[in-house]
Amino acid sequence: MIKRLMTAMATLALLTTPLAAAEADGAMEKYAVERAAEWLKTDAVVAAIVAQNARTAGLSAEEIDALDKDWRAQVGRDDAPLISSVMDSPVSIELSDHVADTGGMIAEVFIMDAQGLNVAASAVTSDYWQGDEAKFQQTYGVGPDAVHISEVELDESTQTYQAQVSLSLTDPATGALIGAVTFGLNAQAFY
């Protein structure tokens, strides 16, 4: 426990150095774009996003808000049909396997549709709708090849200091913008 606390404090000290923070941001972006995003260029991932886009395209703001409230109410419950519909999908299971294979570099990953709603995730997120957050607005809202990197913060669910690196997602066959992805990267692995 003490070693973990010391490591976290050392990482936090590094985060206050502008040069170190900029280098880490560059390394995290490169890792997300060149390595981790490669997981998402499969037919199964693209098909899952496109199918959900077809289901959610006509949702009103009120309907999206109701789904988000439902998700939040289900977090931590055994009976959680909306959460289970995302977490039990083959794409979510695949994402969980990829995260496990990174040796702690990635703490979480979740894919969003064109509305900012979760399509798949490696772990349960605190909310279903990401559309009101920078991770979605600064990627999907900007267009193809957009990248957004958050500040490094302590993530309560994973107990790691992480930055969220988010990217817009396109259909590799057509180039059409279809969604976004967020990778929760363990900041300590990039310093």
Tell me the pLDDT tens digit for each residue of 46-70: 999 999 999 999 999 999 999 999 9
| pLDDT at residue number 2 | 52
19 has a pLDDT exceeding 70: no
Q: Which parts of 49-173 are beta strand (E)?
A: 106-112, 118-121, 147-149, 153-155, 160-170
Q: What residues contact residue 159 under an 8 Å CB cut-off, 6+ apart? A: none
16/145 Cα distance (integer angstroms): 28
- Residues 136, 116 contacting (CB under 8 angstroms): yes
pLDDT class for 14, splitting at 50, 70, 90? Answer: very low
100 has a pLDDT exceeding 60: yes
Mean pLDDT for all residues in the chain = 88
Domain 2-190 of CATH type 3.30.450.20 = yes
Question: pLDDT above 70 covers what percent of the chain?
Answer: 86
